[in-house]
Structure 1
Amino acid sequence: MKLTGAIFDLDGTLLDSMPYWASVGTRYLEQQHIAVPDVEQLALRIKTMTLPEAADYFRSDYGVQQSQEEICTRINHMIEDDYRLRAPLKEGTRDMLEQMKQRGVHMCVASATDHALVEAALRRVGVLDYFSFILTCGDLQTSKNLPYIFDTCTQRLGTDKRTTAVFEDSLHCVVTASGAGYPVVGVYDDSAKTETEEICRLSRCFVYSWKELDIAHLEQSL
């Protein structure tokens, strides 16, 4: 079957931005004069959380006194410059998107990151116009532990779930999308290197680089 739709994650999939997120929790807590005994463990713990969920975690487990809204606002301010000024596209992203466009694939972005930051980053790196829309977990008050964001994207794209690929780098997102019946393309990122084997198992195909993506081969698996 022909690929009709593509739902792309942003961080670690299109954008090489995971290093900024890996450190932001620790940076925030240190600004609150709270020591973090295991930086790597904290990064892994909050990786699957939405920002409000991480804020609640900081309040319950680290004793942060700020409100959830105050924590989210502060972290978004901390990460904002990374998106507006620095975070680069992953290698081969633009060429891949152009190939998708030439094949008539309808594309969107589904991200857990703040909508304004997603839009700012994609505009800065010059690929915003490839996408029909951006949809974030914040927009829908959901997380990627549930398929709601993927289902909403498919409805808005007007495509069939069976021919709409979900491109993700994180295991929990791959589990959600594949479990909901979407063909998943796993995308390697260093932040999820310990999850690579399981992501490969659950995905229709897996790429270490966008240069490896063979759209015709993907279509054969649909």
Structure 2
Amino acid sequence: MGEMEIFSIRLKQLREELKMSQRDFAKLVNITQQTLSGYERCVIKPPLDIAKHIADKCNVSLDWLTGLSNDKDREREIRNYKDVALMIIKLLHLEDYTESGLLLSFQLICNEITGEANHTIAPGYTPLSDALASQIDCKLAPPQRSEFINFLDTFKKLSVLLDKKQITQEVIDTWLKGALSNLETIPISESDNLPFQDESDLFFC
């Protein structure tokens, strides 16, 4: 199934979930009913700005709507280092890794985050660190770097203890709440350089 077909199916699914007629939905997203019908029947290819507008209006992920992801939820707006931390945890699923996986890859993950990686294959190099390199290459300046690395370091240590059943998930959750609140006070500035996937790569171009 092609991306246009997926878009057509998910667009109709979205409209039906909202219990809206084609006429009402077209009015909501500021297009004609004829155009909406063409999208749903997969005979008209929507431009990127229209697809993005529909996703924004319906509060869903553009990647989901266009078939590039199965995650329907919108990506968080990156405003501070709490948002960055949550994105990294989500992207890398660190909580799902065993003790050995965390220990082998953690230093390389830190290197990727701080921009210090030499990108050579080394003992312990894993798809985990490679995933971070492809998604986030933020070069943090003090004190942001120190705060952020401390967060990841503590997260790693607590994850190892949880893996060994020496602490409970409740302990991690309690720490995480406070740590994320602290990171929330550190805003993202233009100099932090957080490049993400370029939406212009979508098939709607």
Q: Which TM-score applies when normalising by structure 2?
A: 0.22
Structure with the higher strand share, 1 or 2: 1
Which protein has greater RCO, CA pairs closer than 8 Å, 6+ apart?
1
Structure with the higher helix share, 1 or 2: 2
The structure number with the bigger radius of gyration is 2
